[in-house]
Amino acid sequence: MTNIENQQPVVTLTQVAAGYGAALVLDTVSLSVEKGELIGISGRNGSGKSTLIKLILGEIEARQGLVEVLGTPMDTQANRRSVQLNIGYLAQSQRDPSIAISVEESVLLGRWGSNFAWMKRSTGHDRKIAREKLELVGMASLARRDIRTLSGGQRQRVSLARALVRQPKLVLMDEPTTYLDAETKEDLMQSIYSLHAELGITMIVVTHETFSSEFFDRMLFIQDGTLLPMGASS
């Protein structure tokens, strides 16, 4: 296994192709993300944004090319598993969560696989970290609330805390502002920007929405499975 701390860049995709079944979704994509960068990747629905995230997460394998995340080639199950332990993930907002679960407990779940899993129970230390992350996103006062009673914006802040709770080296966000109203979207992006500035964690945000480039260190556009610098799309 490669030493993650000493490796840069954090994500390297070299001439990568990926897809599902017969469909090719990403076609010879190359990308390099440096440590501490906040990258925005925008593109229409179906352009391959989520596939890119799944590729970096190690949920799917590249058909060709090289994928390296945190200095580790994502070519074996063991490597992918090891990298996953160091990635925080924030998915799009759920419209209507059905499970009864407290805010703190839901954040705690983000540590699954790192310190507890199956028969190995979570500890007071896990809870302490969960509370710290809730504080970081300004949700500590709602720690005991049922997640079903929160607004969409509040739920996404909780998801942000969950993405950070395993002390990740890389955070991936897949459409984090979907289903939120305009004001809440802006607030959430501002929070992501502030957290990035405070923590210095490498973050990649993919979205079909348009945000001000001032939120990001760099913005890319994905079109027909190809990554382009922002402004270079047809």
Partner 1 sequence: MIERLALAFSIPVIRYAFFGMLVAGGTLSLLGVIIVSLHLTAIRFTLMHVGLLGAAAGLSLGYSPTLGAFILVIGTSVVMGRLGKEKSLSASSVSGLFMTGSLAGAFLLLAATGVPAMNVFDIFAGNILLMTKGDLIFIIVLGIGILGVFWVAYRELQLVLLDKDLARSLGLPVDAIVTGMFLLLGIGVATALRLVGALLVDAIILLPGIAALRFARNFGMALFLSALFGVLACTGGFFLSLFFNLPLGASAAMVSTLILAMSVLMKRTIH
Binding mask 110-129 for partner 1 (x = CB under 8 A): x-xx--xxxx--x-------
Distance in Å, CB of 148 to partner 1, minimum: 5
- Report in angstroms how near the CB of residue 89 gets to partner 1 at its nearest: 4
Backbone angles phi, psi at 61, to 5 degrees: -105, 150
- Report the residue number, 59 or 229, with the smaller CB distance to partner 1: 59
Binding residues for partner 1, rule CB under 8 A, total 36
Pair 114, 88: CB distance under 8 Å: no
Residue type, 116: F
Please report which residue ranges of 111-213 form alpha helices under DSSP H: 124-136, 152-164, 182-199
- Strands, sheet with 11-20, edge to edge from the N-terminal-most edge strand: 23-33, 11-20, 64-69, 72-73
| Half-sphere exposure at residue 34, Cβ-oriented, CA atoms within 13 angstroms | 3
Q: Does 218 bind partner 1 (CB under 8 A)?
A: no
Rounded to an integer, what distance in angstroms lies between the CA atom of residue 47 and that of residue 17?
Answer: 13
For residues 4 and 70, the answer to whether their CB atoms sit within 8 Å is yes
CB atoms inside a 10 Å sphere around CB 153:
19
* 148 near partner 1, rule: CB under 8 A: yes
Tell whether residue 140 is a contact of partner 1 (CB under 8 A). no
Q: Which of 27, 61, 75, 105 binds partner 1 (CB under 8 A)?
A: 105
Q: What's the min distance (Å) between Cβ of 48 and partner 1?
A: 17
Binding mask 85-104 for partner 1 (x = CB under 8 A): x-x-x-x--x-xxxxxxx--
Contact between 59 and partner 1 by CB under 8 A: the answer reads yes
Q: Kindly tell me which of 112 and 179 has the beta carbon lying closer to partner 1.
A: 112
Choose between 100 and 197: whose C-beta lies nearer to partner 1.
100
Which residues does 213 contact at the CB level (< 8 Å), separation at least 6? 40, 219, 230
**What is the nearest approach in angstroms of partner 1 to the Cβ of residue 100?**
4
* Positions in the binding site for partner 1 (CB under 8 A): 57, 59, 81, 84-85, 87, 89, 91, 94, 96-102, 105-106, 109-110, 112-113, 116-119, 122, 144-149, 162, 172, 174
